[in-house]
Chains A and B, each alone.
Chain A
């Protein structure tokens, strides 16, 4: 049980990188990016192939991340220069990546059994700390990456990216090239997703063509659940919540499997989790709004509210 628990938390922390990537597009850029289903597997494929070809695991992981950035930029170009809508440009990339991933691996999966991975290196380096060495190393790295994301989103470029997702018309009138901002955001996001895929491949010791299927939903589940549980009043808070959400998601899956869920039903369970998280966070928001407002004003307020409750405009 304890073993399963650390395992789930470890996996959760690695998947958190993917969830952070989804957070960047879904929340910051307001761009529901489906590329991730493809780029997650791309990350795994590139890392696995590079490792089996004798590259160092670190280099392989960085290579995977770079491949993800390229994939994200392509989606960005399709959307901004090709004027293809957000969902469709993501779907196009996702489908194209399926073939590309097969090309990268040359077959449907690449085993890494017995190969040197980042995790075998960590274990041998920190062996005195067993069995928590992997969790510690992964945890620290993910927190560093979270910190880097927080920092980036506070820079001038980061603020412009956030404003692009928030109010495109406004940020364009402040001379930001919104096309470039979207491309940068998508590129970073998919870089993180591919990094996560690369680490998962090394963690489970194989890369598989189907490892990315449904990843977007897992990412959404983590983001939405995390925000609902841990709050999202600031960027720092939200990125923390997303990591928390990814871990909580893994724990839920673990318990579901323990009490006898058929692994084939996992995707269905994930979909249900997303629906519950979406609907309940919406209901909680409305409920909070109700309590704040005096009954007299209520009929007016119901009309035209965004998902995040833009409700304070004075008349």
Chain B
């Protein structure tokens, strides 16, 4: 299913080089959120990221999307340097789903209007009608793929949807225009177990269908192991474990916990010694 390793060596879809981020520099509350992150994703890679609270996962996502600027380091997407681009400029290439179900949709706008907003992501917005007959048909078709019945509620306000429905809609909107990179930051964390499962399944389906290059942050180890072809563990602003595809296939939660304790111990020792 995946590309052969030889070809993978060639093209990078997302490339982070020496990313560093310090908050509140030169104050008492100085906090090194990321130190020297190097990470390369090849086309179609689906990487899950785990790590304790405050490890820097969200900071990493925000730096990739342009919501924050790194102190140093570069970001390349599909061979193009995007470090200097603003958030909205980069957004043409990046699809995002947030942890907060409220964050991904405009609540006072209808479902079809929200989809229209997502539809114009990778093009120049014009005075063309946002929702015309043809697009409506397309939106309906897309919504039907969620199996949530949303295709019958095109003109309902997005604010009236449940958290799970909204997150499903957000996922659809984020992937509507085939982004080069898909960023999911704990996008199932605010949902009840059943809804979380639904969104997890949808994520798997959507990513597999279109082979999106994906980074997904989660606190659910089971989810991190089941999804994707590579797993990364972060701690204190560093990538402390990087599990490749072959190894990940046999990975269990116990393995992960053991490795985490071991690595964390090492990291803490190093901190103490250093």
Tell me if A1 is interfacial: C-beta within 8 Å of chain B. Answer: no
Tell me if B122 is interfacial: C-beta within 8 Å of chain A. Answer: yes
Nearest CB in chain B to that of A162: its residue: B109
Q: Taking the nearest CB of chain B, how far is it from the CB of A183, in angstroms?
A: 14
A156 B91 Cβ-Cβ under 8 A: no
Within 8 Å CB of A154, what residues of B?
Answer: 129-131
Within 8 Å CB of A170, what residues of B?
Answer: 103-106
Knowing A156-B120, A175-B121, A178-B88 are in contact, say whether A315-B130 is a contact too (CB < 8 A).
Answer: no
Chain B, interface residues (CB within 8 Å), range: 35 or more
Q: B166-187 CB contact bits vs A (8 Å, 1 = yes)?
A: 1000000110000000000000
Nearest CB in chain B to that of A158: its residue: B130
Tell me if A121 is interfacial: C-beta within 8 Å of chain B. Answer: no
Within 8 Å CB of A158, what residues of B?
Answer: 130
A310 to B116, CA, bound (A): 22
B173 A174 Cβ-Cβ under 8 A: yes
Tell me if B36 is interfacial: C-beta within 8 Å of chain A. Answer: no
Complex interface: stretch among B7-15, B155-163, B228-236: B155-163
Within 8 Å CB of B154, what residues of A?
Answer: none
B103 A169 Cβ-Cβ under 8 A: yes
Within 8 Å CB of A175, what residues of B?
Answer: 88-89, 91-92, 121-122
Nearest CB in chain B to that of A156: its residue: B125
Tell me if B18 is interfacial: C-beta within 8 Å of chain A. Answer: no
Q: Taking the nearest CB of chain A, how far is it from the CB of B190, in angstroms?
A: 9
Nearest CB in chain B to that of A160: its residue: B125
Q: A165-196 CB contact bits vs B (8 Å, 1 = yes)?
A: 01101111111111000000000000000000
Within 8 Å CB of B91, what residues of A?
Answer: 172-175
Within 8 Å CB of A314, what residues of B?
Answer: 162-164
Nearest CB in chain B to that of A232: its residue: B108
**Residue with the highest number of chain A CB atoms closer than 10 Å, among B101, B128, B159, B163:** B159
Within 8 Å CB of B166, what residues of A?
Answer: 313
Tell me if B5 is interfacial: C-beta within 8 Å of chain A. Answer: no
Tell me if A159 is interfacial: C-beta within 8 Å of chain B. Answer: yes
Tell me if A137 is interfacial: C-beta within 8 Å of chain B. Answer: no
Task: Specify which of A157, A166, A178 is in contact with B126 (CB 8 Å cutoff).
Answer: A157
Q: B123-136 CB contact bits vs A (8 Å, 1 = yes)?
A: 00111111100000
A156 B126 Cβ-Cβ under 8 A: yes
A171 to B91, CA, bound (A): 10
Within 8 A of B (CB), among A252-266: none
A158 to B125, CA, bound (A): 9
A170 to B65, CA, bound (A): 12
A254 to B75, CA, bound (A): 64
Q: Taking the nearest CB of chain A, how far is it from the CB of B85, in angstroms?
A: 11
Tell me if A163 is interfacial: C-beta within 8 Å of chain B. Answer: yes
Nearest CB in chain A to that of B125: its residue: A156
B105 A172 Cβ-Cβ under 8 A: no
A154 to B136, CA, bound (A): 14
Q: B79-91 CB contact bits vs A (8 Å, 1 = yes)?
A: 0000000011101
B127 A156 Cβ-Cβ under 8 A: yes
Q: Taking the nearest CB of chain B, how far is it from the CB of A314, in angstroms?
A: 3
A312 to B116, CA, bound (A): 23
Tell me if B137 is interfacial: C-beta within 8 Å of chain A. Answer: no
Beyond A157-B126, A174-B173, 20 additional pairs, beta carbon < 8 A: A154-B129, A155-B126, A156-B128, A160-B117, A160-B120, A162-B109, A162-B113, A163-B114, A166-B106, A167-B107, A170-B105, A172-B87, A172-B88, A174-B117, A174-B118, A174-B121, A175-B89, A308-B108, A312-B162, A314-B162
B residues adjacent to A (C-beta < 8 A): 65, 87-89, 91-92, 94, 96, 98, 101-109, 113-114, 116-118, 120-122, 125-131, 159-164, 166, 173-174, 192
A residues adjacent to B (C-beta < 8 A): 152, 154-160, 162-163, 166-167, 169-178, 308, 310, 312-315
Q: What 5 pairs across the A-B complex have the smallest Cβ distances?
A: A314-B162, A175-B91, A166-B106, A156-B125, A159-B130
7 contacts between A and B (CB under 8 A): A162-B113, A167-B105, A169-B103, A173-B174, A175-B88, A310-B159, A314-B163
